[in-house]
Chain A
Amino acid sequence: MDHHRRVDTEITTRVDGVTRTVLVDTRTTLLDALRERLGTTSPKKGCDHGQCGACTVLLDGRRVLACLTLAVTTTGKDVTTADGLAPDGHLHPVQQAFLDNDALQCGYCTPGQVCSAVGALDELANGHPSHAGDVTTDPQLTRAEIAERMSGNLCRCGTYTNIITAVEQAARA
């Protein structure tokens, strides 16, 4: 096998509303493209294997894990990070609710939590079911539903109880 093959590819992606063109390796994940090549460090790397949720971004509006997304597959797509949810520093209601409820400590999981919450509330509004409810009926906004839907975002600081309250507050706002 040819180890020296150069596999650089140019991709054009909208990141937080701005069209960005960047040279990536075919191996480059969306997460590393953002953090190491575009200087967009809002999404965090907690595990790099889809096991923590810290890298959650919205891809064409849906929450996904940037660490398991190859950057080459995102050409022409729209990426929103937690930073992009607060244009000009005006916090998104979810972000404000996180602040209000002290739903953060070290802050490392927080941008991913915020993106995930935005995506989760959207899914809930669209009637997507979850493991916390009965799939044959429409889901309701309960703490159990929020907790289940936010479970793909680990927080080692243990802010979960406040996160649930924050997401509930944002949903009712």
Chain B
Amino acid sequence: MRPFDYLAPTDAATAVRTVATNPTATYLAGGTNLVDHLKLGITHPDLLVDTAAITTAGITDHHGGLLIGAATRNSDIAADHRVRTRYPALAEALLSGASGQLRNMATAAGNPLQRTRCPYFQDATTPCNKRRPGSGCAAIGGHTRGHAILGASDHCVATHPSDMAVALTALDATLHILGPDGPRTLPCTDLHRLPGTDPTRDTVLEHGDLITAIELPHNPLARRSRYRKVRDRASYAFALVSVAAALETTDGIITDARLAFGGVAHKPWRAYRAEQALLGQPANDTTYRTAAEAELTDAQPLNGLDGGNSFKVPLLTRTVIATLRNLDQR
């Protein structure tokens, strides 16, 4: 790990200017991803700017919804009664991620900004376009069990690992951002990018942008939401696939739905096509299957040394069905 300076500023605007004007500066929140990456030699900042004193921890009521301060710990979000009853999918997503210790450290802002767990990305001795632009993608033709089936490119087939971000995407959350030009908001659905020809960028954020809060909009539908994560270990493992869903039915007919997938793409995958396919249909397995298949028509599973990841297509379909069935029966 290379040496770096450490700053713990108290004024957000100054901090944003400091980072925005220094390409080798980066924000530090819980550190659970950044410190890991410093050790792995994935990133080499000259300056760490601690966000502890420039962002707030805590959840406040906000226009009928909730405003989660960027510094709020993952565990505190999941423990909040308003989140648990009004946005259960978010609480479930957070609780299905990492471990108790990590959730006590990880922050609201840091979680959606964590980077892929692609093993080649994390092994600085192998080629990786995300880590070293133009070096190639070692995952292609390698071990691809954890990789993408949707929206990947020839340059990168990584998946986004966050559970929280999948729930935020389904729940129409909005980010509050302080940039060098002042504050702005950004829908969570627009935060993450597909890799395209530039996998180095995970999100649309500009260097220096500081996430200050995450807003959960008022939406009664969110009360009937769930997060279902499928993984190899019973706990403390990243998703093979995951589904965040919310469902409203009237007389057995689906009147509203939200659906997002994790573990299958470079970003949390909002399943608009599947949502469309659900609306107005009877709430049953056939409908759910049709909806999942509608979303997955473009799926491009990868071959791989380990047998690849084509299993994710049926797995995701079945997980969607199970999750929606379970929601309907709740």
Contacts and interface: CB of A to CB of B under 8 A. Distances in A.
Q: Do A and B come from one complex?
A: yes
Nearest to A120: B100
Contacts of B299: none
Given A128-B79, A135-B88, A135-B92, A119 B234 contact: no
A103 B50 CA distance: 39
A120 B48 CA distance: 31
B100 A152 contact: yes
A123 interface: yes
A64 to B, nearest CB: 5
Contacts of A116: 100-101
Contacts, number: 121
A44 interface: no
Interface stretch (A15-23, A67-75, A79-87, A90-98): A67-75
Contact of A63 (B38, B91, B96, B100): B100
A1 interface: yes
A70 to B, nearest CB: 6
A101 B216 CA distance: 45
B330 to A, nearest CB: 10
Q: By DSSP majority rule, is chain B's interface helix, strand, loop, or mixed?
A: mixed
Interface stretch (B2-10, B174-182, B284-292): B2-10
Given A120-B100, A126-B79, A151-B236, A64 B35 contact: no
A120 B99 CA distance: 11
Nearest to A56: B101
A135 B78 contact: yes
Interface in B70-112: 75, 78-79, 84-85, 88, 91-92, 95-96, 98-102, 104-105
A66 B290 CA distance: 47
Given A70-B35, A126-B79, A152-B100, 16 more contacts: A2-B3, A7-B3, A26-B5, A27-B1, A50-B32, A53-B101, A64-B104, A68-B36, A70-B31, A72-B6, A73-B8, A123-B100, A131-B95, A151-B99, A151-B235, A152-B99
22 contacts: A1-B24, A1-B46, A2-B3, A5-B5, A6-B3, A26-B5, A49-B40, A63-B104, A65-B102, A65-B105, A68-B32, A70-B6, A73-B8, A73-B28, A128-B79, A129-B79, A131-B96, A131-B235, A135-B78, A135-B92, A152-B102, A152-B236
